[in-house]
Amino acid sequence: MSAPVPKTMNMIEAINSALDIMLAKDPDVVIMGEDVGYFGGVFRATAGLQAKHGKTRVFDTPISECGIIGVGVGMAAYGLRPVPEIQFADYIYPGLDQLVSEAARLRYRSANDFICPMTVRSPFGGGIFGGQTHSQSPESLFTHVCGIKTVIPATPYDAKGLLIAAIEDNDPVVFFEPKRIYNGPFSGYYDRPVEPWSKHEGSAVPKDYYRIELGKAAVVREGAAVTVLTYGTMVHVVKAVVSEHGIDAEIIDLRTLLPLDIEAIEASVKKTGRCMVVHEATRTSGFGAELAAQVQERCFYHLEAPVERVTGFDTPYPHSLEWAYFPGPVRLARAFDKIMKD
């Protein structure tokens, strides 16, 4: 049998394909969330799935994130493999106790008696004029919780393979989808025309089943001058800035924040001697703080400059001043100047 020919997909289509494949492959998979059923989700990630797989497999829920995630924990305890959608990551907080105290600890507290193989999908991040309730990046709240895996794809290809692996994983996974790049990779130059996914190699997505192992980073650009650790939308912004300024940076897309691919990080930083961590989330106690700590613990004697953090500011995500908040090309260029001078 010849290998299936990859087709071009944007990230929404890739996620939809992963869900479709898993619904067909595993009768335990159930999808639920606000507007995910008949309508197919506000971002269309579940379009057509209810019609194809039936109403008891893909269905709408009350507007209650605590209820959605709590019900998911109960379904998982029964033996199902729920994949709830939280419509925006900003809405996940009412469900936080069910994730932190229940889903994440069920295996541990019951000594493997009950498990929670649940994948919570949620669009996150800004750059869409979503204001302070449709733009947040709360990933570090989850990496701080023991018992949850946190996964963030940056391409359609990775989104599909990682989502399939997340659904098949027997532990709870929070799967944050960078909604700014659902329809095309974002360079960070918001005044330039949007590039479609079809021009990006990451949009070559096989239509059949495949998985990408959780906990493995990807080197998206090899380089010798500086290592950049990033994920999600910022992978593409960093790539554009590095190309624009001719910086020989090695860009690592972490893909899974927890468990972290520490070997890939360590090898790269020891090679380049410089490390920059980049995320859109607020700065203080962000995931970049953990990355900086890991790098200085493991690579201190290889570092030629202090670890540099490029992040969003410690304010709520503003509406009109979105591009002054976003860690875009200007903030990145200044940081590269600084880290390369030291």
Partner 1 sequence: MDNKLPESFSQLWAEMDMEQSTKDNLSPLHLHIPEPKFRPGDVADFGDIIVPAVDAYPRPDEHAMPADIHRLAYGLVRVLGDDHQAMGSWNPGLDNATLQVMLRKMLLLRAFDDRMFRAQRQGKTSFYMKSFGEEATSVATTMALDFDDMCFPSYRQQGILITRDYPLVDMMNQIYSNRGDRLKGRQLPIMYSAKDYGFFSISGNLTTQYPQAVGWAMASASRGDTRISAVWCGDGSTAEGDFHNALTFAAVYNAPVIFQVVNNQWAISSFSGFAGSERTTFAARAIGYGIAGLRVDGNDALAVYAAMQWAANRARNNGGPTLIEYFTYRGEGHSTSDDPSAYRAAEEYALWPLGDPVTRLKDHLVTIGAWSDAQHDALIIELSEYVKTIQKEAEQNGILGHGLHHPFETMFEDVFEEMPWHLKEQCAQMLEEQQDKFGPDWEAR
107 binds partner 1 (CB under 8 A): yes
Q: Return the number of the residue (109 or 334) whose C-beta is nearest partner 1.
A: 109
Active-site choice (134, 200, 236, 279): 134
- Give me the least distance between CB of 173 and partner 1, in Å please: 11
The CA distance from 283 to 290, in Å, is: 11
Binds partner 1 (CB under 8 A): choice among 112, 191, 201, 320: 112
Contact 16, 48 (CB under 8 A): yes
SS3 annotation, 228-273: EEECCHHHHHHHHHHHHHCCCEEEEECCEEECCCHHHHHHHHHHHC
Name residues contacting partner 1, limited to 172-201 (CB under 8 A): none
- Give me the least distance between CB of 259 and partner 1, in Å please: 4
Total of residues contacting partner 1 (CB under 8 A): 46
Residues 6+ apart with CB under 8 A from 112: none
Binds partner 1 (CB under 8 A): choice among 4, 39, 48, 64: 64
Strand pairing partners for 135? none
| Piece of the chain touching partner 1 by CB under 8 A; list 125-133, 192-200, 259-267, 320-328 | 259-267
Q: Return the number of the residue (3 or 111) whose C-beta is nearest partner 1.
A: 111
The CA distance from 271 to 303, in Å, is: 10
| Piece of the chain touching partner 1 by CB under 8 A; list 60-68, 175-183, 190-198, 306-314 | 60-68
Residue 169 — φ and ψ, nearest 5°? -70, 145
CA-wise closest residue to 87 among 128, 121, 53: 121
Name residues contacting partner 1, limited to 298-327 (CB under 8 A): none
Whether residue 178 has a cis bond before it, omega within 30° of 0: no
Q: Residue 53 corresponds to which tokens in the numbers above?
A: 């797989």
SS3 content of the chain, % helix, strand, coil (to 5): 40, 15, 45
Q: Return the number of the residue (23 or 335) whose C-beta is nearest partner 1.
A: 23
110 binds partner 1 (CB under 8 A): yes
Q: Say which amino acid occupies 268.
A: S
Residue 257, CB half-sphere, CA atoms under 13 Å: how many? 33
Q: Residue 39 corresponds to which tokens in the numbers above?
A: 């309508």
| Piece of the chain touching partner 1 by CB under 8 A; list 14-22, 78-86, 176-184, 301-309 | 78-86
- Give me the least distance between CB of 305 and partner 1, in Å please: 26
Is 53 catalytic? The answer is no
96 binds partner 1 (CB under 8 A): no
Catalytic center residues: 134
The residues of the shown chain that bind partner 1, judged by CB under 8 A, are 30, 56, 61-62, 64, 66-67, 69-80, 82, 94, 97-98, 101-102, 106-115, 146-147, 149, 169-171, 215, 258-260, 262
